[in-house]
Structure 1
């Protein structure tokens, strides 16, 4: 799962016993050589699904990390793209990869940007946000978008109960809950806290109109359902 240039077991252990911010500061130089980085296939499928809905003006990568999602924005947006993250280490790596991007260090749970962007995306970040914090994140993205702006992100279908992945993810989340109960500072990283139904409800409560579209290029489950869907949350357009 990790390349020879990726983090060592000791480095991962130190990261896991740190706060989310400090952990990602430590991991940042090697993050793109870990399985935690969003695969190019998901980025490409997202870009393909969004392209017919554009072109877009300014784009924002929410919890941008090392900037993988800015590849998507760069292919879709006619104006400058930006990324926001609270890890200085991750932002430093993103700046190297995207020297022309505008990068902002901020906590997305209290995002203060106002009607500056036409498209916002996020990849693999919602597991670092507790369900109780998600409404504040979505409200901040809603403020950051211009009227008619779009917030988009992929969500994978939950593995079936009979799948080894189901039990692996369940076990991982259980270990993280125990870790956070006995160790401070907490490290928020869960895989089973973002079911589509509750995410839709939170987006709707923040003022978005929500639809989804299947990312068919990423395959289907045995029952024919897509493995991934793209959440499309639209801010109400200005009636004028």
Structure 2
């Protein structure tokens, strides 16, 4: 499948987040934005040390890259949630047995329903001031003792070209959002580990990390039992 053209990416980038992903959905899996299989496999290996789970939720599932991963870790069919109807349509084609829900991740419609929640590559779509509502909703969606698993790649150092590439992307995005509406929120350098840990702890999670060799680390945030 051919990826999007530069014109299609430009149209997406000048749209809202929801509309942009609706437009990109049919070609999303041919872009570098899809979660790499290496990260999915490393996350599965790291979570394997925490046992098997009954029900799992893939937050901001997109076209469903995380749904197959969840199916191997849970006994019940996985659930995916996203607010882009276009992305969910693609996920439904690839994972017809999954339960797919259209909802805003900042207002999840679940209450103590899942043992495991995962999210891949979506944090950049949430501003720092939106994380408390996001993490509160995830905490509420988990059963007591449930786990929120959040893989984080290694942050590049200033001596690495990727550091300046990501910083430059964020700068361009801030300039775009200052002069263009609707905004398209996607930033790479707004969620350092220390800030995530503080926000997760404030939401009531007990936070630990598990190394993922060659990839980064997995944040394992557990809703305390009882």
- Normalising by structure 1, what TM-score? 0.93
1:167 to 164, 167, 175: 164
How far residue 110 of structure 1 moved from its aligned partner, in angstroms, is 1.2
Task: State the SS of the aligned residue for 2:151.
Answer: strand
C-alpha distance in 2 between matches for 1:232 and 1:111? 20
- The gaps in structure 2 that reach 5 residues or longer are none
How far residue 12 of structure 1 moved from its aligned partner, in angstroms, is 0.2
Q: Which residue of 2 aligns with 1:58?
A: 55
C-alpha distance in 2 between matches for 1:199 and 1:193? 10
Task: State the SS of the aligned residue for 1:91.
Answer: helix
Task: State the SS of the aligned residue for 1:132.
Answer: helix
Q: Does 1:233 pair with 2:221?
A: yes
Q: Does 1:126 pair with 2:123?
A: yes
What does the per-residue CA deviation read over 1:123-161, in whole Å, with 9 as the maximum and x for residues that have no partner? Answer: 000001111101111110100000000000111221111
What is the Cα-based RMSD across aligned positions, in Å?
0.8
Q: Which residue of 2 aligns with 1:210?
A: 207
C-alpha distance in 1 between matches for 2:125 and 2:148? 18
1:145-156 to 2 correspondences below 5 Å: 145-156=142-153
- The gaps in structure 1 that reach 5 residues or longer are 220-226
1:22 to 19, 35, 44: 19
Task: State the SS of the aligned residue for 1:61.
Answer: strand
How far residue 52 of structure 1 moved from its aligned partner, in angstroms, is 2.3
C-alpha distance in 1 between matches for 2:56 and 2:36? 20
C-alpha distance in 1 between matches for 2:164 and 2:49? 37
C-alpha distance in 2 between matches for 1:125 and 1:161? 23
Q: Does 1:45 pair with 2:33?
A: no
- Normalising by structure 2, what TM-score? 0.98
C-alpha distance in 2 between matches for 1:129 and 1:119? 21
Q: Which residue of 2 aligns with 1:224?
A: none
C-alpha distance in 2 between matches for 1:112 and 1:71? 22
